[in-house]
Structure 1
Amino acid sequence: MSSRGASLLVLFAVLCSWPGEAGPSVSEASSDSKASLLRLRGGMKLFTHNLLASPVPGLTKQQRYPLALEVERAEIRPSKVDQDTIISLLERLNWKVFLDALQAVGGEESIGLERQFPQDMAEVISSACNDGDVHMFRALHRALFETEVMEGQLVCPATQRRFRIQEGVPNFLAADVQGTKQEALSPRSEGEEA
Protein backbone atom coordinates (compact mmCIF):
# COMPACT_ATOMS: atom_id res chain seq x y z
CA MET A 1 0.00 0.00 0.00
CA SER A 2 1.31 3.45 -0.86
CA SER A 3 2.00 6.00 1.85
CA ARG A 4 -0.90 8.08 0.47
CA GLY A 5 -3.21 5.07 0.79
CA ALA A 6 -2.02 4.45 4.33
CA SER A 7 -2.55 8.13 5.18
CA LEU A 8 -6.10 7.97 3.84
CA LEU A 9 -6.80 4.89 5.96
CA VAL A 10 -5.52 6.68 9.06
CA LEU A 11 -7.63 9.75 8.23
CA PHE A 12 -10.66 7.50 7.67
CA ALA A 13 -10.09 5.82 11.05
CA VAL A 14 -9.87 9.20 12.80
CA LEU A 15 -12.96 10.61 11.09
CA CYS A 16 -15.02 7.44 11.40
CA SER A 17 -16.97 6.80 14.53
CA TRP A 18 -17.82 3.53 16.15
CA PRO A 19 -20.95 1.74 17.39
CA GLY A 20 -23.89 3.60 18.92
CA GLU A 21 -27.64 4.13 18.79
CA ALA A 22 -29.81 7.00 17.66
CA GLY A 23 -31.43 9.15 20.33
CA PRO A 24 -33.22 12.43 20.87
CA SER A 25 -31.50 15.82 20.56
CA VAL A 26 -28.19 15.45 22.43
CA SER A 27 -28.34 12.00 23.93
CA GLU A 28 -26.11 9.37 25.45
CA ALA A 29 -25.87 6.42 23.05
CA SER A 30 -26.52 2.97 24.46
CA SER A 31 -23.35 0.90 24.61
CA ASP A 32 -24.94 -2.47 25.48
CA SER A 33 -27.37 -2.72 22.59
CA LYS A 34 -26.97 -5.46 19.97
CA ALA A 35 -27.83 -2.91 17.29
CA SER A 36 -24.87 -0.80 18.38
CA LEU A 37 -22.53 -3.69 17.56
CA LEU A 38 -23.82 -3.79 13.99
CA ARG A 39 -23.51 -0.09 13.34
CA LEU A 40 -20.06 0.90 12.15
CA ARG A 41 -20.62 4.55 11.33
CA GLY A 42 -21.80 7.30 13.60
CA GLY A 43 -22.23 11.01 13.22
CA MET A 44 -20.05 13.88 12.13
CA LYS A 45 -17.69 14.71 14.98
CA LEU A 46 -16.99 18.33 15.91
CA PHE A 47 -13.32 17.73 15.07
CA THR A 48 -14.35 16.68 11.55
CA HIS A 49 -16.50 19.80 11.19
CA ASN A 50 -13.45 21.89 12.09
CA LEU A 51 -11.61 20.54 9.03
CA LEU A 52 -14.39 20.85 6.45
CA ALA A 53 -14.65 23.61 3.84
CA SER A 54 -17.29 24.41 1.23
CA PRO A 55 -16.91 22.48 -2.04
CA VAL A 56 -18.48 25.30 -4.08
CA PRO A 57 -16.14 25.91 -7.04
CA GLY A 58 -14.52 29.27 -7.69
CA LEU A 59 -14.19 30.32 -4.04
CA THR A 60 -10.97 31.23 -2.27
CA LYS A 61 -9.89 29.36 0.85
CA GLN A 62 -11.11 32.26 3.01
CA GLN A 63 -14.53 32.19 1.29
CA ARG A 64 -14.92 28.42 1.77
CA TYR A 65 -14.08 28.20 5.49
CA PRO A 66 -15.47 27.88 8.08
CA LEU A 67 -18.80 26.25 7.38
CA ALA A 68 -21.55 27.34 9.75
CA LEU A 69 -23.11 24.44 11.62
CA GLU A 70 -26.85 24.14 12.28
CA VAL A 71 -27.66 21.16 14.49
CA GLU A 72 -31.03 19.44 14.63
CA ARG A 73 -29.89 16.32 16.48
CA ALA A 74 -26.62 15.30 18.10
CA GLU A 75 -25.51 12.32 20.14
CA ILE A 76 -22.83 11.56 22.66
CA ARG A 77 -20.95 8.32 21.98
CA PRO A 78 -18.43 7.55 24.72
CA SER A 79 -14.99 6.36 23.65
CA LYS A 80 -11.54 5.95 25.17
CA VAL A 81 -9.63 9.17 25.86
CA ASP A 82 -6.24 9.30 24.12
CA GLN A 83 -4.21 12.25 25.42
CA ASP A 84 -1.47 11.86 22.78
CA THR A 85 -4.01 12.07 19.95
CA ILE A 86 -5.63 15.14 21.46
CA ILE A 87 -2.27 16.90 21.87
CA SER A 88 -1.25 16.10 18.28
CA LEU A 89 -4.55 17.35 16.86
CA LEU A 90 -4.78 20.60 18.86
CA GLU A 91 -2.40 22.34 16.45
CA ARG A 92 -4.80 21.64 13.56
CA LEU A 93 -7.82 22.92 15.43
CA ASN A 94 -9.31 26.33 14.70
CA TRP A 95 -10.38 27.19 18.26
CA LYS A 96 -12.99 29.83 17.33
CA VAL A 97 -14.65 27.49 14.82
CA PHE A 98 -14.67 24.75 17.47
CA LEU A 99 -16.32 27.02 20.06
CA ASP A 100 -18.94 28.12 17.51
CA ALA A 101 -19.70 24.47 16.64
CA LEU A 102 -19.98 23.63 20.33
CA GLN A 103 -22.54 26.43 20.73
CA ALA A 104 -24.47 25.07 17.71
CA VAL A 105 -24.77 21.74 19.54
CA GLY A 106 -26.07 23.56 22.62
CA GLY A 107 -22.93 24.47 24.54
CA GLU A 108 -20.83 22.67 27.10
CA GLU A 109 -23.77 21.97 29.41
CA SER A 110 -25.69 20.12 26.69
CA ILE A 111 -22.89 17.56 26.32
CA GLY A 112 -22.47 17.08 30.05
CA LEU A 113 -19.50 19.34 30.80
CA GLU A 114 -19.50 21.25 34.08
CA ARG A 115 -17.35 24.19 33.00
CA GLN A 116 -16.91 26.20 29.84
CA PHE A 117 -13.80 26.17 27.69
CA PRO A 118 -11.66 29.32 27.81
CA GLN A 119 -11.90 31.65 24.79
CA ASP A 120 -8.12 31.48 24.36
CA MET A 121 -6.69 28.22 23.04
CA ALA A 122 -3.32 28.97 24.67
CA GLU A 123 -5.00 28.55 28.08
CA VAL A 124 -6.33 25.15 27.03
CA ILE A 125 -2.95 23.98 25.76
CA SER A 126 -1.24 25.22 28.91
CA SER A 127 -3.80 23.55 31.16
CA ALA A 128 -3.95 20.27 29.27
CA CYS A 129 -0.34 19.85 28.17
CA ASN A 130 1.80 21.70 30.70
CA ASP A 131 -0.27 21.20 33.84
CA GLY A 132 -1.49 17.71 32.91
CA ASP A 133 -5.11 18.66 33.63
CA VAL A 134 -6.92 15.32 33.15
CA HIS A 135 -10.32 17.02 33.32
CA MET A 136 -9.37 19.28 30.40
CA PHE A 137 -8.34 16.26 28.31
CA ARG A 138 -11.62 14.51 29.07
CA ALA A 139 -13.62 17.64 28.25
CA LEU A 140 -11.76 18.16 24.96
CA HIS A 141 -12.20 14.51 24.05
CA ARG A 142 -15.92 14.61 24.84
CA ALA A 143 -16.47 17.75 22.78
CA LEU A 144 -14.24 16.88 19.80
CA PHE A 145 -14.66 13.11 19.42
CA GLU A 146 -17.71 11.94 21.39
CA THR A 147 -20.14 14.67 20.31
CA GLU A 148 -21.58 13.65 16.95
CA VAL A 149 -23.96 15.62 14.76
CA MET A 150 -26.54 13.22 13.34
CA GLU A 151 -28.95 15.65 11.63
CA GLY A 152 -28.44 19.26 10.58
CA GLN A 153 -26.87 21.46 7.93
CA LEU A 154 -23.54 22.98 6.99
CA VAL A 155 -23.73 26.47 5.46
CA CYS A 156 -21.18 27.92 3.03
CA PRO A 157 -20.02 31.31 4.38
CA ALA A 158 -19.74 32.95 0.93
CA THR A 159 -22.78 31.60 -0.93
CA GLN A 160 -25.05 30.56 1.96
CA ARG A 161 -25.55 27.25 0.12
CA ARG A 162 -26.73 24.58 2.54
CA PHE A 163 -25.41 21.04 2.72
CA ARG A 164 -27.62 18.56 4.58
CA ILE A 165 -26.28 16.26 7.28
CA GLN A 166 -28.33 13.06 7.39
CA GLU A 167 -27.59 10.08 9.61
CA GLY A 168 -24.30 11.78 10.47
CA VAL A 169 -23.09 12.16 6.88
CA PRO A 170 -22.71 15.60 5.28
CA ASN A 171 -23.93 15.65 1.66
CA PHE A 172 -21.71 18.00 -0.33
CA LEU A 173 -23.39 17.28 -3.65
CA ALA A 174 -25.13 20.54 -4.56
CA ALA A 175 -28.93 20.39 -4.78
CA ASP A 176 -28.96 21.65 -8.37
CA VAL A 177 -26.58 18.86 -9.38
CA GLN A 178 -28.69 16.30 -7.51
CA GLY A 179 -31.81 17.46 -9.36
CA THR A 180 -30.09 17.14 -12.74
CA LYS A 181 -28.92 13.62 -11.95
CA GLN A 182 -32.34 12.63 -10.63
CA GLU A 183 -34.04 13.90 -13.79
CA ALA A 184 -31.58 11.99 -15.96
CA LEU A 185 -32.28 8.77 -14.07
CA SER A 186 -36.07 9.03 -13.88
CA PRO A 187 -38.11 7.30 -16.62
CA ARG A 188 -39.90 9.56 -19.06
CA SER A 189 -43.63 9.20 -19.64
CA GLU A 190 -45.01 8.62 -23.13
CA GLY A 191 -45.20 11.75 -25.23
CA GLU A 192 -42.58 13.55 -23.13
CA GLU A 193 -39.74 15.00 -25.16
CA ALA A 194 -36.17 14.06 -24.43
Structure 2
Amino acid sequence: MRLLTHNMLSSNIKGVTNGFPLLIEAEKVVEKPVDFNPDFLRNIFPKIDWKALVAAARAVGYGELPDTADAAMLESDDFLRHLHHALLQLHLEEGALVCPETGRRFPVNKGIPNMLLHEDEV
Protein backbone atom coordinates (compact mmCIF):
# COMPACT_ATOMS: atom_id res chain seq x y z
CA MET A 1 0.00 0.00 0.00
CA ARG A 2 1.42 3.34 -1.03
CA LEU A 3 1.39 6.29 1.34
CA LEU A 4 -0.76 8.08 -1.23
CA THR A 5 -3.46 5.49 -0.52
CA HIS A 6 -2.93 5.78 3.23
CA ASN A 7 -3.51 9.52 3.01
CA MET A 8 -7.04 8.88 1.73
CA LEU A 9 -8.13 6.10 4.11
CA SER A 10 -10.02 6.54 7.36
CA SER A 11 -11.75 4.36 9.91
CA ASN A 12 -15.49 4.00 9.25
CA ILE A 13 -16.39 2.22 12.48
CA LYS A 14 -19.84 3.19 13.75
CA GLY A 15 -19.58 6.06 16.23
CA VAL A 16 -16.03 7.07 15.30
CA THR A 17 -15.78 10.82 14.79
CA ASN A 18 -12.01 11.04 14.28
CA GLY A 19 -10.90 8.10 12.13
CA PHE A 20 -8.14 9.96 10.26
CA PRO A 21 -5.24 9.58 9.93
CA LEU A 22 -4.81 5.91 10.57
CA LEU A 23 -1.64 5.13 12.48
CA ILE A 24 0.84 2.81 10.79
CA GLU A 25 2.44 -0.21 12.42
CA ALA A 26 5.00 -1.24 9.83
CA GLU A 27 6.45 -4.73 9.81
CA LYS A 28 7.73 -4.71 6.22
CA VAL A 29 8.21 -1.73 3.91
CA VAL A 30 9.57 -2.03 0.39
CA GLU A 31 10.61 0.50 -2.21
CA LYS A 32 9.26 0.06 -5.72
CA PRO A 33 10.50 2.21 -8.58
CA VAL A 34 7.95 4.52 -10.20
CA ASP A 35 8.63 6.97 -13.04
CA PHE A 36 9.05 10.52 -11.77
CA ASN A 37 6.12 12.73 -12.85
CA PRO A 38 6.35 16.28 -11.43
CA ASP A 39 3.03 17.32 -13.03
CA PHE A 40 1.19 14.57 -11.15
CA LEU A 41 2.83 15.66 -7.89
CA ARG A 42 1.84 19.29 -8.43
CA ASN A 43 -1.76 18.27 -9.15
CA ILE A 44 -2.10 15.90 -6.18
CA PHE A 45 -0.36 18.18 -3.66
CA PRO A 46 -3.48 20.24 -2.74
CA LYS A 47 -5.39 17.02 -1.98
CA ILE A 48 -2.77 15.66 0.42
CA ASP A 49 -3.11 16.07 4.18
CA TRP A 50 0.51 17.08 4.74
CA LYS A 51 0.67 16.41 8.48
CA ALA A 52 -0.72 12.89 7.96
CA LEU A 53 1.75 12.21 5.13
CA VAL A 54 4.74 13.30 7.23
CA ALA A 55 3.61 11.11 10.15
CA ALA A 56 3.07 8.13 7.83
CA ALA A 57 6.45 8.60 6.15
CA ARG A 58 8.19 8.70 9.51
CA ALA A 59 6.27 5.61 10.67
CA VAL A 60 7.78 3.67 7.77
CA GLY A 61 11.27 5.07 8.40
CA TYR A 62 11.41 7.95 5.91
CA GLY A 63 12.31 11.28 7.47
CA GLU A 64 13.13 13.42 4.43
CA LEU A 65 9.87 15.41 4.30
CA PRO A 66 9.70 18.82 6.01
CA ASP A 67 7.20 19.33 8.84
CA THR A 68 5.29 21.87 6.77
CA ALA A 69 4.96 22.49 3.04
CA ASP A 70 3.33 25.02 0.76
CA ALA A 71 2.69 25.34 -2.97
CA ALA A 72 5.84 27.44 -3.49
CA MET A 73 7.94 24.38 -2.64
CA LEU A 74 6.59 22.63 -5.75
CA GLU A 75 9.15 24.58 -7.79
CA SER A 76 11.98 22.72 -6.07
CA ASP A 77 13.09 19.56 -7.86
CA ASP A 78 14.61 18.27 -4.61
CA PHE A 79 11.28 18.69 -2.76
CA LEU A 80 9.36 17.01 -5.59
CA ARG A 81 11.71 14.03 -5.57
CA HIS A 82 11.29 13.56 -1.81
CA LEU A 83 7.51 13.87 -2.18
CA HIS A 84 7.56 11.38 -5.08
CA HIS A 85 9.54 8.88 -3.04
CA ALA A 86 7.24 9.16 -0.01
CA LEU A 87 3.94 9.09 -1.90
CA LEU A 88 4.64 6.59 -4.64
CA GLN A 89 7.75 4.50 -4.02
CA LEU A 90 7.36 3.49 -0.38
CA HIS A 91 4.98 0.55 0.04
CA LEU A 92 3.68 -0.86 3.30
CA GLU A 93 3.74 -4.59 2.53
CA GLU A 94 3.05 -6.04 5.98
CA GLY A 95 1.76 -4.45 9.14
CA ALA A 96 -1.40 -2.75 10.31
CA LEU A 97 -3.37 0.46 10.17
CA VAL A 98 -4.75 1.55 13.53
CA CYS A 99 -7.84 3.67 14.16
CA PRO A 100 -6.68 6.69 16.19
CA GLU A 101 -9.93 6.76 18.20
CA THR A 102 -10.70 3.11 18.95
CA GLY A 103 -7.34 1.42 18.52
CA ARG A 104 -8.90 -1.11 16.11
CA ARG A 105 -6.18 -2.68 13.98
CA PHE A 106 -6.74 -3.24 10.26
CA PRO A 107 -4.15 -5.73 8.93
CA VAL A 108 -2.09 -5.05 5.82
CA ASN A 109 -0.97 -8.23 4.02
CA LYS A 110 0.94 -8.29 0.74
CA GLY A 111 0.35 -4.54 0.44
CA ILE A 112 -3.44 -4.79 0.72
CA PRO A 113 -5.20 -3.21 3.70
CA ASN A 114 -8.19 -5.18 5.02
CA MET A 115 -10.64 -2.47 6.06
CA LEU A 116 -13.63 -4.81 6.43
CA LEU A 117 -15.63 -4.13 9.57
CA HIS A 118 -17.04 -6.67 11.99
CA GLU A 119 -20.82 -6.88 12.19
CA ASP A 120 -20.97 -4.92 15.46
CA GLU A 121 -18.86 -2.09 13.95
CA VAL A 122 -21.27 -1.27 11.12
Q: TM-score, normalised by structure 1?
A: 0.58
RCO greater where, 1 or 2, for CA within 8 Å and sep 6 or more?
2
Give the match for residue 72 of structure 2.
126
Mapping for residues 104-183 of structure 1, pairs under 5 Å: 104-108=59-63, 116-122=64-70, 125-128=71-74, 132-174=75-117, 176-177=118-119
| CA deviation vs aligned residue, 1:77-96 (integer Å, no higher than 9, x gap) | 11111111111111111111
Give the match for residue 50 of structure 2.
95
Pick from 14, 23, 28 the counterpart of residue 73 of structure 1.
Answer: 28
Higher radius of gyration, 1 or 2: 1
Distance in 1 (CA, whole Å) between partners of 2:116 and 2:32 is 27
- Runs of 5+ unmatched residues, structure 1: 1-43, 109-115, 178-194
Q: TM-score, normalised by structure 2?
A: 0.90
RMSD of Structure 2 on Structure 1 (CA)? 1.3
The percent of aligned pairs where both chains have the same amino acid is 34
Moved over 6 A (4+): none
Distance in 1 (CA, whole Å) between partners of 2:36 and 2:62 is 20
- Runs of 5+ unmatched residues, structure 2: none
Give the letter for the 1:49 counterpart. Answer: H
**Paired residue total:** 119
Q: Which has the higher strand share?
A: 2
